[in-house]
C-alpha cells in the first residue's frame, strides 16, 4: 500500500527539529525523508571549513538561511599555525552569493575574512541580518563600512576578538540615518575612536538595541549619554573606565546605570580606576555575567564589586583576585557556573600575586553549580585536584594551565597523574579537558578509562611514549578534537588507531615525534582524511623519512585535499586521494 | 616501552630535570630553558624523562628565560589589550607643532614632559618666543603668543584648562597662535 504523509506535513514537523543531530538522523530514514529534510534545512554548522566544500553544501541544502563556519585549528590562537595557512572565507561567500540570495546569518570563527568578502556579503544578501566574526582577521574598517552602509536590515554586528586593521573610526558613520534595526553591536576589539555623535544618534534611533560593547577609545565620561539613550540594554561593555576623579562624572554614571533596569552583563573596564566601580552598584544585583579580564584592579576592589552581585553566573577575571578574592566569590556567588582566571603576568618567572591552587579548591567547594573552569596558576597538587574533583563532580569543562611546563605536584614533587585522574573519574559529564604540569602515560590511562563523554582534549609537554596517545585514542569514545604540542608521541599509536581519526573532527600535533614516513603512510591508509604536514623548514622530501615533521593536522573530509595550500603545507598521498574521489 | 617513568622507585627529579646548561651549574640558572622550536633529534626522542638524560647532553642556552612559542596559552589579542601601556611607553606620543608664520612644523613627544611648565619651556626654546602667564580668566597674559591645541573632536582649544594627563591623551596637534587671534582665545567669551 503506497501510503505516505503528504510532504507538506513532514516538512512542517521537521521544522520543529532544531538540532543538527536530529535532522541528520531524520535524513537517514529513507530517501524521501532525506529529500524533504534537505530542502527545509535552514541552518548549517560547518565545524571545519575544509571538511566539506561550498559546492557540496549548496548542492545538498539549497535553501539555507544561516551558516556557521569554523576555520583554523584552536592552537592558532597561540600562534602555532603559521600565517597564510588558510581558512579563507571568500570562496564560501562567492558560492553562497550565487545560491543563497536569502541568506540572513553568517557566523565565523578563526577565518580569514577580507574587505572584498565583506563587501560581497553586504551587496549579495538583501535580507542580511547577523554577522558574527569571532577571532577572525584579514579585514579593515573599510569592510565594516560596506556592511554598515549596505545591510539595511542588519541586526547584529559582533566582532568579538577579531584582529581588524583599524584605518579609522569612520565606518560607524556609514549606517544610514534611516537605519533602525540594530539589536547587537560589539566593537570592543577596535582601536580607533568612532565619531561619538554618530554613535549617539545610532543608539538613539535603534529602540531594539540590547547589546552594546564599546571599544577602549570611548571614555567613561561619555557613557551616561549612551546609557540614557538605551535604558533597555541587556549587555553593556564600557570603554576605558578611567578619568580624573570628578564628582559630576561619577554621579552622572550612577544615574545613568540606575536607569538600565535590564542590564545582565557587563564587560570592558580597560584602565579601570577603582573609584568608579561603585557607580555600577545599583545594577549589580541583576548582573549574571561579568567580564573583568582587562580590569587591572586589586583584590579588595574586586571583592567589593563581586559582593554586590549575588546572581553572578559567569565571571572572567585576572588573577589579581587572588585566593582571598576567590574565597569571597565562593561565599557571595552561589549561582556561579563559569569561572575564568587569567594571568596578569604570564611571562614573569616569579608569581606576582597570591593566587594558588587554594583559590580553585575554595570555589569548587563553595559554588555548587560551577561547571566550567579555565584557571591559570603557578602551583598545583594532586591533593588539591582530588579535592576539586570530589567537590565538583558536575564539571563539564575543566581547563587548567600551570604556567611552568611540566611543573610537578609542588608538595610531593610527583606527577599530577592522580589529580587529573580524579577529575576524569569523578566528573562523568566532562566534555572538555586541558592538561598541564608534569604528567606521565598514566594520566592518559586514566583518561582513556574514564573520560567517556570527553569531546575535546588539549595536551602540552606531557606523557612518555606512544602508549599515552594510544590510551586516549582507543578509550575516549566521544573524542572529537585532540590537540597536542611538545609531547613524545610518535607514529605507533596514530597508525594503530587510524580508523579512530575518521570519527573525529580533527587532530593537531606539533613538536612531537611523528616522522614524515609515518605521515605518508597514514595518508595512504586513510583516503578520507586530509593528512597535512606543516613544515616551515622546506619540503619534507629534502630530509630523511624518519625525520619528525614540525606540525601535523589531520582531519576528516569529503572534499579531498585542499587547493589553497601555502607552500609550507603538504597533503599526504594527494595523488591517491584525488584518484579515489 | 621507551621512556616510561617508574613510579615505584624514588623519583630523583633533579637528575631528570630538563636543563639546558653545563653539567654542574646550579639551581640559579633559569628554570625554563626550552627554546622556541626544539631541535628535532633523529629518532624522535624529544623529551626523555629517563634518568640518563643529563643536563650535559643538551646544548648550553642563554641564562635568561627563553620564551616558548604559544606558552602559556594566552591569546595575543588579549595580551595586547591588557598591557598595551607598555607599547605606548615605547613609541611615545608625538604631536605636530605649528607656529603661525613659521615656514615648517616641528614635532615633539608629549610623554617626556611632566607638566605644562616643562612643555612651555620646551616650546619657548624651540621657537624662540615667550608664552606668558596662564590664568583661567584671561588666558595667556604678557605675551603675543598663546599655545592652542586641536583635540580629538577637531576643536581648537586653549592649552592649560584641563589636567595635564587629560591634555596628553586628547591633544592631537599643537598650534602656537600669534597676535590678535591669540588674545581672542583667552578672553571671557
Say which residue the cell 651549574 belongs to: B25
Of the pLDDT bands very low, low, confident and very high (cuts 50, 70, 90), residue A111 is: very high
Q: What pLDDT is recorded for position B20?
A: 47
Nearest to A77 among B32, B69, B75 (CB): B75
pLDDT for residue B56 is more than 90: no
Model confidence pLDDT, tens digit, residues A47-72: 999 999 999 999 999 999 999 999 99
Mean pLDDT on B101-109? 85
User: Could you report the per-residue pLDDT of B37-54, keeping only the tens digit for each?
Assistant: 333 333 333 333 333 333
Establish if A200 touches chain B: CB-CB under 8 angstroms. no
Interface contact A187, partner B, CB < 8 A: no
pLDDT at A417: 98
Predicted confidence at residue B14, as pLDDT, reads 53
ipTM above 0.90, yes or no: no
Rg over alpha carbons for chain A, rounded to the nearest Å, is: 25
Closest CB to A413 among B11, B45, B77 = B11
Query: What pLDDT sits at residue A545?
Result: 94
Least confident of A157-166, A282-291, A459-468, B113-122: B113-122
Q: Does B18 touch chain A (CB under 8 A)?
A: yes
Residue A11 CA: distances (Å) to CA of A32, A41, A43, A65, A67: 11, 10, 15, 16, 20
Residue A415 touches chain B, beta carbons under 8 Å: yes
Closest C-alpha among A347, A425, A346 to residue A385: A425
pLDDT (tens digit per residue) in A293-309: 999 999 999 999 999 99
**Mean pLDDT on A475-500:** 97
- B91 touching A, CB under 8 A? no
Mean predicted lDDT score pLDDT of chain A: 95
Question: Which residues face A552 on adjacent strands?
Answer: A509, A533
B158-180 tens-digit pLDDT: 888 888 888 888 888 899 888 66
Would you call B7 and A406 a contact, using CB atoms and an 8 Å cutoff? no
Contact A361, A375 (CB under 8 A): no
Q: Mutating which of B2, B72, B77 best tests the A interface, going by the most A Cβ atoms within 10 A?
A: B72
Mean pLDDT of A76-103: 96
pLDDT of amino acid B186:
45
Q: pLDDT category, A246, cuts 50, 70, 90?
A: confident
Range of weakest confidence among A478-487, A549-558, A565-574: A565-574
In this complex, is the C-beta atom of B79 within 8 Å of any C-beta atom belonging to chain A? yes
SS3 of A320-377: the string is HHHHHHHHHHHHHCCCCCEEEEECCCCCCCCCCCCCCHHHHHHHHHHCCCCCEEEEEE
For the cut 60, the answer to whether the pLDDT of residue A218 exceeds it is yes
For residue A327, pLDDT beyond 70: yes
Q: How confident is the model at residue B66 (pLDDT cuts 50, 70, 90)?
A: low
Q: Residue A550: its chain B contacts at CB < 8 A?
A: 37, 40
Q: Is residue A21 packed enough to be buried (19+ CB in 10 Å), middle (13-18) or exposed (0-12)? A: exposed
Amino acid at each position: 500500500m503506497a501510503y505516505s504523509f503528504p510532504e507538506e506535513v513532514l516538512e512542517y514537523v521537521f521544522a520543529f527539529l532544531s538540532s543538527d543531530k536530529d535532522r541528520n538522523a531524520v535524513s537517514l530514514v529513507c530517501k524521501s525523508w532525506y529529500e524533504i529534510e534537505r530542502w527545509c534545512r535552514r541552518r548549517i554548522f560547518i565545524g571545519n571549513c575544509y571538511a566539506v566544500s561550498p559546492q557540496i553544501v549548496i548542492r545538498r541544502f539549497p535553501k539555507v538561511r544561516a551558516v556557521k563556519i569554523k576555520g583554523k585549528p584552536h592552537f592558532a590562537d597561540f600562534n602555532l599555525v603559521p600565517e597564510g595557512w588558510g581558512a579563507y572565507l571568500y570562496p564560501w561567500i562567492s558560492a553562497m552569493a550565487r545560491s543563497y540570495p536569502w541568506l540572513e546569518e553568517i557566523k565565523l570563527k578563526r577565518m580569514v575574512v577580507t574587505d572584498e568578502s565583506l563587501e560581497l556579503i553586504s551587496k549579495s544578501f538583501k535580507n542580511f541580518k547577523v554577522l558574527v566574526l569571532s577571532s577572525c582577521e584579514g579585514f579593515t574598517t573599510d569592510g565594516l563600512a560596506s556592511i554598515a552602509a549596505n545591510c539595511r536590515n542588519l541586526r547584529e554586528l559582533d566582532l568579538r576578538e577579531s584582529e581588524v586593521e583599524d584605518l579609522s573610526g569612520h565606518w560607524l558613520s556609514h549606517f544610514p540615518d534611516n537605519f533602525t534595526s540594530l539589536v547587537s553591536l560589539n566593537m570592543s576589539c577596535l582601536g580607533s575612536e568612532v565619531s561619538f555623535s554618530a554613535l549617539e544618534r545610532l543608539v538613539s534611533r535603534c529602540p531594539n538595541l540590547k547589546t552594546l560593547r564599546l571599544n577602549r577609545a570611548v571614555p567613561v565620561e561619555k557613557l551616561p549619554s549612551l546609557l540614557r539613550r538605551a535604558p533597555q540594554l541587556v549587555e553593556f561593555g564600557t570603554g576605558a573606565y578611567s578619568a580624573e576623579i570628578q564628582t559630576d562624572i561619577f554621579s552622572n554614571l550612577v544615574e545613568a546605570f540606575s536607569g538600565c533596569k535590564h542590564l545582565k552583563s557587563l564587560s570592558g573596564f580597560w584602565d579601570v580606576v577603582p573609584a568608579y566601580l561603585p557607580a555600577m552598584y545599583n545594577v549589580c544585583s541583576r548582573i549574571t555575567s561579568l567580564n573583568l579580564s582587562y580590569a587591572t584592579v586589586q583584590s579588595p576592589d574586586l571583592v567589593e564589586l563581586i559582593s554586590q552581585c549575588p546572581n553572578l553566573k559567569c565571571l572572567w577575571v585576572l588573577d589579581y583576585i587572588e585566593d582571598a578574592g576567590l574565597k569571597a566569590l565562593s561565599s557571595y556567588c552561589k549561582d556561579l557556573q563559569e569561572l575564568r582566571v587569567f594571568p596578569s603576568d604570564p611571562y614573569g618567572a616569579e608569581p606576582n600575586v597570591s593566587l594558588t591552587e587554594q583559590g580553585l579548591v575554595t570555589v569548587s567547594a563553595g559554588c555548587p553549580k560551577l561547571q566550567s573552569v579555565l584557571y591559570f596558576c603557578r602551583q598545583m597538587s594532586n591533593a588539591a585536584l582530588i579535592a576539586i574533583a570530589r567537590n565538583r563532580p558536575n564539571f563539564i569543562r575543566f581547563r587548567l594551565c600551570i604556567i611552568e611546563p611540566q611543573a610537578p605536584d609542588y608538595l610531593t614533587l610527583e606527577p599530577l597523574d592522580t589529580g587529573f585522574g580524579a577529575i576524569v573519574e569523578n566528573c562523568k559529564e566532562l566534555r572538555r579537558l586541558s592538561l598541564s604540569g608534569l604528567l606521565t602515560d598514566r594520566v592518559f590511562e586514566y583518561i582513556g578509562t574514564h573520560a567517556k563523554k570527553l569531546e575535546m582534549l588539549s595536551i602540552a609537554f606531557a606523557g612518555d611514549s606512544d602508549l599515552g596517545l594510544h590510551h586516549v585514542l582507543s578509550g575516549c569514545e566521544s573524542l572529537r578534537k585532540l590537540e597536542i604540542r611538545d609531547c613524545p608521541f610518535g607514529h605507533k599509536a596514530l597508525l594503530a588507531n587510524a580508523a579512530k581519526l575518521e570519527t573525529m573532527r580533527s587532530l593537531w600535533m606539533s613538536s612531537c615525534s611523528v616522522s614524515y614516513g609515518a605521515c605518508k603512510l597514514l595518508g595512504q591508509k586513510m583516503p578520507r582524511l586530509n593528512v597535512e604536514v606543516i613544515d616551515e623548514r622546506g619540503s619534507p622530501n629534502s630530509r630523511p623519512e624518519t625525520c619528525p615533521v614540525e606540525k601535523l593536522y589531520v582531519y576528516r573530509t569529503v572534499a579531498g585535499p585542499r587547493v589553497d595550500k601555502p607552500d609550507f603545507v603538504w597533503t599526504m598521498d594527494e595523488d591517491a586521494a584525488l584518484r579515489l574521489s | 616501552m621507551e621512556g616510561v617513568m617508574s613510579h615505584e622507585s624514588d623519583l630523583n627529579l633533579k637528575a631528570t630535570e630538563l636543563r639546558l646548561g653545563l653539567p654542574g651549574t646550579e639551581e640559579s640558572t633559569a628554570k625554563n630553558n626550552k627554546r622556541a622550536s626544539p631541535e628535532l633529534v633523529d629518532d624522535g626522542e624529544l623529551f626523555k624523562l629517563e634518568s640518563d638524560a643529563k643536563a650535559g647532553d643538551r646544548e648550553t642556552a642563554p641564562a635568561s628565560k627563553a620564551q616558548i612559542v604559544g606558552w602559556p596559552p594566552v591569546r595575543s589579542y588579549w595580551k595586547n589589550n591588557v598591557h598595551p601601556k607598555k607599547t605606548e611607553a615605547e613609541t611615545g606620543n608625538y604631536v605636530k607643532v605649528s607656529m603661525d608664520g613659521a615656514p615648517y612644523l616641528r614635532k615633539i613627544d608629549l610623554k617626556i614632559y611632566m607638566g605644562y611648565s616643562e612643555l612651555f619651556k620646551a616650546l619657548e626654546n624651540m621657537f624662540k618666543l615667550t608664552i606668558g602667564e596662564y590664568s583661567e580668566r584671561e588666558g595667556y597674559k604678557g605675551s603675543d603668543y598663546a599655545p592652542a591645541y586641536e583635540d580629538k573632536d577637531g576643536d581648537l582649544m586653549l592649552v592649560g584648562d584641563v589636567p595635564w594627563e587629560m591634555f596628553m591623551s586628547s591633544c592631537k596637534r599643537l598650534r602656537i597662535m600669534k597676535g590678535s587671534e591669540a588674545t581672542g582665545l583667552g578672553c571671557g567669551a
